[in-house]
Structure 1
Amino acid sequence: MPATRMMIARRAGVSVATVDRVLRDDQAVRPETADRVHLALAALRDERASRGRPAKISTYRVAFVLPQVNSRFLDHVERNIALSASFFREHRIIPSFYRCDFTIHRDTIAFAEQVIDYDALVLVPLDYPAVERLIEDMSDAGVPVVTVFSDLPASRRAAYVGVDNRIAGRTAGLLMGRFLGARLGTVAILSASSRLHDQLERRTGLSQVLEEDFRNLRWIAEPDFAEDDDGAGLAVQGLLARYQDLVGVYVTGGGISGIATALQESGDKGRIVLIGHECTAETRTQLSERAIDVILDQDVRGIVHWAGLAAINFLNDVRGALAIPTPETRIYLRENAHA
């Protein structure tokens, strides 16, 4: 394997950006710095060409970063990162875990300074300018950022690993339309955060399908909907009061268990189709009891693993680093709730 810019930078004691400038023959680089880079490159080449000597095994420090928001799903992701320790060890990844309050610009900038020395970042981003700046600063420092579960496609992130959330939303829209048939009424799209791109994409996907194929249904969006079960349950009661013709509810984030309980207690579940995300022990039970009609799910552990591998593939300049499979969206109904 050829020497990467990261390897050269470590050997020469300079930044990856400086290595890049030297290799481009940038005359603004000081001669003594350029000499150190060239010597490091020559030494690495000699090591790889030495007879019968195996290449040095490297380890990679990867920071896994989640936003500091109240989310049962992100808590589930955090647990799966912790439970992946043996997998990371096998692939020479030394993981560290962080939660950051991206809503505070100052905290995000300070956090960027804290993680700049990592080899790579795996990040669930929120859509804030400071987060894009964080990704840009990491990229300038030669630290690849892999977004996971939710994306910032306009940023300079190296890759996104996760399901296609637009397709997930469209799948939910098709199922909603098929379940409701020819009925007339309103479908409410409930999102926990307008700053999470995955929820925006799911909302867009469902609304597109309803507009394209199910003109008998109109949709309304309720962004920044409460994700805790109690708050979501109270909020859906307000929806029932405002929309007498409510026939469907699609939950793009958390809170579906609380909504299911509220609909059952009010006696309205029989006329309302409820579709959401994340298959848990609780939602499996509610599927079995017909309190929820459809749950869309994803392989959280597998996505965490693929994101870590994508990060080190970028560090090693591996061809096909982007050839990470797009995970499939799983569909759970009453019949396969416990499969």
Structure 2
Amino acid sequence: MPATRMMIARRAGVSVATVDRVLRDDQAVRPETADRVHLALAALRDERASRGRPAKINTYRVAFVLPQVNSRFIDHVERNIALSASFFREHRIIPSLYRCDFTTHRDTIAFAEQMIDYDALVLVPLDYPAVERLVEDMSDAGVPVVTVFSDLPASRRAAYVGVDNRIAGRTAGLLMGRFLGARIGTVAILSASSRLHDQLERRTGLSQVLEEDFRNLRWIAEPDFAEDDDGAGLAVQGLLARYQDLVGVYVTGGGISGIATALQESGDKARLVLIGHECTAETRAQLSERAIDVILDQDVRGIVHWAGLAAINFLNDVRGALAIPTPETRIYLRENAHA
């Protein structure tokens, strides 16, 4: 396999863009930088000139980095990374899993220094400046970063792999409006974190559809809503007390099981439509019991696999690296809760 621009950039300690400029003989590149690139290219060619020997099978060290947050979904992602070991072996990926507290700038920058030695990163990002800096540092070092499940679109990440969360939110809005029909009232949008781009996109999507097509419904947002079941259950009782006309609840992240249980126990579920995300054994049972009306879900393990493949496609300069399929949002109702 010929040396790729990523390989040359890492060997020379420059960015991929700089390698491109040197290979195009851009005279604006400093001579010492151009020399480093040419030396790196020559060294890589020598290493691959193995006449009479079988070609070396490359392996790729990929770091899977998750935020250190209290989230059932992130814990679920971690389990699926661990359960993908055989898939990664088949594709010559050596995975390492990290949980990072991105809320501290110093810790995030120190963590970035540890990541330089990896071939690629698969990252569930939080929207902090230090995380964008991490992505930028990796890009400068020729280490592609693939964001997964939640995007960081303003960063220099190589690609995003996951569902379109704006569309997921719009789908929830359409279902909410159809379920409520001509009723007039308030829909509460409950988000666990304003630092997770996926939750912001879902919130935006639902609010857009209500404003466009269901003028009988007004929406209110409750950011930084508790994701643990007990906390979410208590908090929704406070919402009921504050909004006497509450007719619907949309949960963009975790906590929906606790909310469903609290609404059933208080007898308020009959007058509310409850929609959320992540199909688990518990939420499937609650769908069957009519405690939850709709669950939107995604293929977590498939997305983990596609993200790993996208990372090594970038390393190999594979054309179509961005042609990883956009996963579909699955819709679960009472009728197909156990499908």
> Within the alignment, does 1:123 sit opposite 2:123 as a pair?
yes
Pairwise CA distance, 1:261: 0.3
Q: Where does residue 152 of structure 2 map in the other structure?
A: 152
Q: Secondary structure at the match of 1:118?
A: coil
Pairwise CA distance, 1:335: 0.4
Verify the 8 A CA contact 2:228 2:254 in the aligned structure 1.
yes
Deviations 1:82-122 (A, max 9, x none): 00011011111110000111111111111011111111100
Q: Where does residue 165 of structure 2 map in the other structure?
A: 165
Name stretches of at least 5 consecutive residues in structure 1 with no aligned partner: none
Q: Distance in 2 between matches of 1:115 and 1:47?
A: 25
Q: What TM-score, normalized by structure 1, do the two folds share?
A: 0.93
Q: Distance in 1 between matches of 2:112 and 2:328?
A: 32
Pairwise CA distance, 1:6: 3.3
Deviation larger for 40-49 or 146-155: 40-49
Q: Residues 88 and 216 from structure 1, CA distance in 2 versus in 1: closer, same or farther, beyond 3 angstroms?
A: same
Q: Residues 70 and 13 from structure 1, CA distance in 2 versus in 1: closer, same or farther, beyond 3 angstroms?
A: closer
Deviation larger for 50-59 or 251-260: 50-59
Q: Residues 32 and 205 from structure 1, CA distance in 2 versus in 1: closer, same or farther, beyond 3 angstroms?
A: closer
Q: Distance in 1 between matches of 2:218 and 2:32?
A: 68
Q: Secondary structure at the match of 2:102?
A: coil
Pairwise CA distance, 1:51: 6.7
Pairwise CA distance, 1:205: 0.4
Q: Residues 182 and 29 from structure 1, CA distance in 2 versus in 1: closer, same or farther, beyond 3 angstroms?
A: closer
Q: Where does residue 36 of structure 1 map in the other structure?
A: 36
Verify the 8 A CA contact 1:15 1:141 in the aligned structure 2.
yes
Verify the 8 A CA contact 1:185 1:217 in the aligned structure 2.
yes
Q: Distance in 2 between matches of 1:199 and 1:75?
A: 17
Deviations 1:101-147 (A, max 9, x none): 11111111110111111111000000111111110111011110000
Q: Secondary structure at the match of 1:238?
A: helix
Pairwise CA distance, 1:7: 3.1
Verify the 8 A CA contact 1:192 1:252 in the aligned structure 2.
yes
Q: Distance in 1 between matches of 2:325 and 2:143?
A: 22
Q: Residues 199 and 45 from structure 1, CA distance in 2 versus in 1: closer, same or farther, beyond 3 angstroms?
A: same
Pairwise CA distance, 1:32: 8.0
Deviations 1:47-82 (A, max 9, x none): 768777654211111100011100000000000000
| RMSD (Å) for aligned C-alpha atoms | 2.3
Deviation larger for 179-188 or 25-34: 25-34
Verify the 8 A CA contact 1:189 1:222 in the aligned structure 2.
yes
Pairwise CA distance, 1:5: 2.4
Verify the 8 A CA contact 1:17 1:142 in the aligned structure 2.
no
Q: Secondary structure at the match of 1:247?
A: strand
Q: Residues 45 and 272 from structure 1, CA distance in 2 versus in 1: closer, same or farther, beyond 3 angstroms?
A: same
Q: Distance in 1 between matches of 2:92 and 2:42?
A: 25
Q: Residues 223 and 12 from structure 1, CA distance in 2 versus in 1: closer, same or farther, beyond 3 angstroms?
A: closer
Verify the 8 A CA contact 1:173 1:205 in the aligned structure 2.
yes
Q: Where does residue 317 of structure 1 map in the other structure?
A: 317
Pairwise CA distance, 1:41: 2.9
Quick one: percent identity of the two aligned structures?
A: 97
Verify the 8 A CA contact 1:288 1:334 in the aligned structure 2.
yes
Q: Residues 17 and 169 from structure 1, CA distance in 2 versus in 1: closer, same or farther, beyond 3 angstroms?
A: closer
Q: Distance in 2 between matches of 1:283 and 1:116?
A: 40
Verify the 8 A CA contact 1:60 1:93 in the aligned structure 2.
yes
Q: Residues 11 and 243 from structure 1, CA distance in 2 versus in 1: closer, same or farther, beyond 3 angstroms?
A: closer
Q: Secondary structure at the match of 2:125?
A: coil
> Within the alignment, does 1:60 sit opposite 2:60 as a pair?
yes
Q: Residues 7 and 252 from structure 1, CA distance in 2 versus in 1: closer, same or farther, beyond 3 angstroms?
A: same
Pairwise CA distance, 1:3: 1.7
Q: Residues 332 and 259 from structure 1, CA distance in 2 versus in 1: closer, same or farther, beyond 3 angstroms?
A: same
Verify the 8 A CA contact 2:15 2:140 in the aligned structure 1.
no
Verify the 8 A CA contact 1:264 1:291 in the aligned structure 2.
yes
Q: Residues 276 and 140 from structure 1, CA distance in 2 versus in 1: closer, same or farther, beyond 3 angstroms?
A: same
Q: Distance in 2 between matches of 1:312 and 1:206?
A: 35
Q: Secondary structure at the match of 1:157?
A: coil
Deviations 1:33-58 (A, max 9, x none): 85565355346557768777654211
Deviations 1:178-226 (A, max 9, x none): 0000001100000000000000000000000001111100000000000
Q: Secondary structure at the match of 1:57?
A: coil
Name stretches of at least 5 consecutive residues in structure 2 with no aligned partner: none
Count of aligned pairs = 339
Pairwise CA distance, 1:17: 7.4
Deviations 1:254-292 (A, max 9, x none): 000000000000000000000000000000000000000
Q: Distance in 2 between matches of 1:13 and 1:219?
A: 51
Q: Residues 29 and 219 from structure 1, CA distance in 2 versus in 1: closer, same or farther, beyond 3 angstroms?
A: closer
Verify the 8 A CA contact 2:306 2:324 in the aligned structure 1.
yes
Deviation larger for 32-41 or 325-334: 32-41
Q: Distance in 1 between matches of 2:14 and 2:198?
A: 37
Q: Distance in 2 between matches of 1:73 and 1:139?
A: 27
Q: Distance in 2 between matches of 1:12 and 1:247?
A: 60
